[in-house]
Copies of this chain bind each other. A is one copy, B any other.
Amino acid sequence: MHITVINPNTSAAMTSRIGAAARAAAGPGVEVAAVHPTMGPASIESHYEEALAVPGVLEQIALGDARGTDGYVLACFGDPGLDAAREFASAPVLGIAEAAMHAATMVGRSFSVVTTLTRTVGRAEDLVQRYGFERACRSILASDIPVLDLEDDRVQEELTALSRHAVHHDGADVIVLGCAGMASLQAAIADAVGVPVVDGVVAAVGFVTALARAGVTTSRRSEYARPPRKEMSGLLAGFALA
């Protein structure tokens, strides 16, 4: 079984860390390819950047389909381009926010998200709503640590403090890590706070493997049917479908 994990930003270092987390989570017989786009922003912390990241994600899906992929993971907590990816990919696609939120509701009645910048909270709220978890989500707490600074020493401390606040003040049973670059902190925060902590990359690899093994893929009825052929012009002309 081949799983392709797409880091939607162009940071190779972050892709490498995401790949390591994904491989550690994969069960026996599951191969993981971790890739990133050749175009777009170095990190995604705004709607603007998300919009400019999606074409590169779609390019990676074309490549993943070409080499044979049984399941895709979009490894950015905004789940950028998820609908377009589902239309376009030949295998099931999960976003890491999607997978993490689903997983959290399976092991607790409620969860909070601890994330990077305050400006991304609205996007996380949209996803909570989209996936149906508005009753389960107790809070979305931002550390205001930029995505590419997640390696800093202070990060674990800050996210642990936010997680504790989520549990004791907001009533969260479970913590969801709100960025693809946080997997390495999962165990330490769980130990410190005493509740389950869910990393989306890990959850998504596990769930998309389960879907692929069950032979269940994206419905081709109507909305997620393959996009129609269409004239495509300018810089993006290469995205025209054959």
Contact = CB atoms under 8 A, between A and B. Distances in A.
Interface of A: 10, 25, 27-29, 37-43, 45-52, 54-56, 58, 81, 83-84, 86-88, 92, 94, 98, 102-103, 105-109, 118-123, 125-126, 129-136, 167, 173-174, 187, 194-199, 202-203, 205-207, 209-211, 213-225, 227-228, 230-237, 239, 241
A239 B28 contact: no
Contact of A51 (B41, B84, B131, B136): B84
Contacts of A48: 58, 84, 87-88, 227, 241
A106 B92 contact: yes
Nearest to A1: B27
A236 B202 contact: no
B106 A230 contact: no
15 contacts: A25-B214, A27-B209, A41-B231, A46-B227, A48-B87, A49-B227, A56-B236, A108-B219, A123-B223, A132-B135, A199-B214, A202-B214, A206-B213, A207-B207, A235-B235
